[in-house]
Homo-oligomer: A and B are copies of this chain.
Amino acid sequence: MHRSAAALDGEMNLVAGAFSSSPEKSREQGDNLHLDPDRVYDTYEEMADAEAERPDGIDVVSIVTPNFLHHDVARTFIDRGFHVICDKPMTTTLEDAEDLCRRVDEQDVVFCLTHNYAGYPLVKQARALVEQGRLGALRKIVVEYPQGWLNRRLEAEGNKQASWRTDPDKAGAGALGDIGTHAEHLARYVTGLSLERMCADVGTVVEGRPVDDDASILARYEGGVRGLIHVSQISAGEENNLRLRVYGTEAGLDWRQEDPHRLTLLTDINGEAPQQIYSHGRASLADSVQPFVRTPQGHPEGFIEAFANLYRSAAHAIAAHEAGVEPEPWARDFPTVQDGAAGVHFIETALESSEQEAWVDASYTPPRT
């Protein structure tokens, strides 16, 4: 997925890699990708060292390992001055997350966390509507993310994705990390609001699974905005049903990832305006959204294109950084290392609240040097 996303716009080339913990498999994969064998490495440490030496070394590395490796790999590359694109959740502990925040600042590199749902044009339109004040003062946020694929113990049936994602040593948290952080980020990205308090109900539904697979969270955002977050991987029959609703004094909005090219503006039912459907590729999208649209109206873009929007912005941000100039606004529009730390803090806070069966403080400010 990362490879397709990077390839789509032709702004990045894959030229080197360490593709597996098995050196053999790494080389095999390098072959499949027609890479120069000299640049296919046995370990990421070796890769970081060697590429740092090369005059034509890589500019940026993509980290798509299981979660428990993110911190070490990211640190290794950041410390050698490479820019980083990293999958979420950023790390498995808050300590590691904050460590990355500090290193990114110290090394002055670009760090992009792939909360890819923030790459959808209609999500950016939602954010634009909030910023334009079309919703009035915000009052309530409902974000949900039901999936059903872990409805049974796939991890016991040899499913590779299921295996590491439900292994606490490799994944850290379960549903909270895998999809909860997406939900938390999406709400924060669109509304600009951070969590202040929460009361979580995190649990494991499928017997024998050592990580959480279902979570519901009562929340309070900055300014007292009421919130509700619920995510699940055991909701039988649900595919990837991430949805965000935001309500303000004047209007609401509703976006669903499974129909990502539309956004509903829920106009006040006591008013004269009928409901409005924003759709992909039309002139009605905000100017700030237009750079993220590749196809004309009615030609759906999907998951890969949203992912590619992050890659393209990061590529431009990196190029601007290298050139010592300010990137254009759209090229600064991707999740950062601070977003990553906020995500890890969210996971830890939810687990703590659930264990205590109590409301807890959820406010957080990531470290900046």
A259 at the interface (CB under 8 A from B): yes
- Determine the chain B residues whose CB is within 8 A of the CB of A8 once the complex forms: 4, 7-8, 304
Q: Are A265 and B252 closer than 8 Å at their CB atoms? A: no
A305 at the interface (CB under 8 A from B): yes
List A residues 267-297 near B (Cβ within 8 Å).
267-279, 281-284, 294-297
* Mask: chain A, 199-215; 1 = CB below 8 Å from B; 0 = not: 10101010000000010
- Determine the chain B residues whose CB is within 8 A of the CB of A259 once the complex forms: 259, 300
CB within 8 A of A274: which of B146, B277, B305? B277
A319 at the interface (CB under 8 A from B): no
- A33, A151, A268, A358: residue with the most chain B Cβ atoms closer than 10 Å: A151
Q: Are B270 and A149 closer than 8 Å at their CB atoms? A: yes
CB within 8 A of A236: which of B3, B250, B297? B250
The interface stretch among A21-29, A240-248, A343-351 is: A240-248
How far is A235 from B240 in the complex, measured between Cα atoms in Å?
A: 24
A303 at the interface (CB under 8 A from B): yes
Whole-angstrom distance between the Cβ of A269 and the nearest chain B Cβ: 5
Q: Are A300 and B303 closer than 8 Å at their CB atoms? A: yes
A302 at the interface (CB under 8 A from B): yes
How far is A106 from B11 in the complex, measured between Cα atoms in Å?
A: 39
Q: Are B269 and A274 closer than 8 Å at their CB atoms? A: no
CB within 8 A of A240: which of B154, B245, B268, B297? B297
- Determine the chain B residues whose CB is within 8 A of the CB of A296 once the complex forms: 149, 240
Q: Are B357 and A359 closer than 8 Å at their CB atoms? A: yes
Q: Are A276 and B279 closer than 8 Å at their CB atoms? A: no
- Determine the chain B residues whose CB is within 8 A of the CB of A359 once the complex forms: 357
SS class, residues of chain A in contact with chain B: loop
How far is A244 from B258 in the complex, measured between Cα atoms in Å?
A: 19
The interface stretch among A44-52, A70-78, A224-232, A322-330 is: A224-232
Q: Are B216 and A228 closer than 8 Å at their CB atoms? A: yes
- Determine the chain B residues whose CB is within 8 A of the CB of A276 once the complex forms: 273-277
- Determine the chain B residues whose CB is within 8 A of the CB of A184 once the complex forms: none
How far is A336 from B152 in the complex, measured between Cα atoms in Å?
A: 38
* Nearest-neighbor residue (CB-CB) of A33 within chain B: B10
- Determine the chain B residues whose CB is within 8 A of the CB of A295 once the complex forms: 1, 302-304
List A residues 21-62 near B (Cβ within 8 Å).
33
* Nearest-neighbor residue (CB-CB) of A234 within chain B: B139
List A residues 320-369 near B (Cβ within 8 Å).
357-359
* Contact of A140 with B274 at beta-carbon distance under 8 Å, contacts A33-B10, A237-B251 already known: no
- Determine the chain B residues whose CB is within 8 A of the CB of A257 once the complex forms: 298, 300
How far is A359 from B199 in the complex, measured between Cα atoms in Å?
A: 10
How far is A357 from B220 in the complex, measured between Cα atoms in Å?
A: 13
Known: A4-B9, A135-B236. 6 other contacts (CB 8 A): A7-B8, A149-B270, A199-B201, A237-B268, A240-B299, A295-B303
Can you give 10 contacting A-B residue pairs, CB < 8 Å? A216-B226, A235-B252, A236-B251, A236-B268, A261-B302, A264-B277, A274-B279, A274-B284, A301-B302, A357-B359
A interface residues with partner B (beta carbon < 8 Å):
1, 3-4, 7-10, 33, 135-136, 139-140, 142, 146-149, 151-152, 154, 199, 201, 203, 205, 214, 216, 218, 226, 228, 230, 232, 234-241, 245, 247-252, 257-261, 264-279, 281-284, 294-305, 357-359
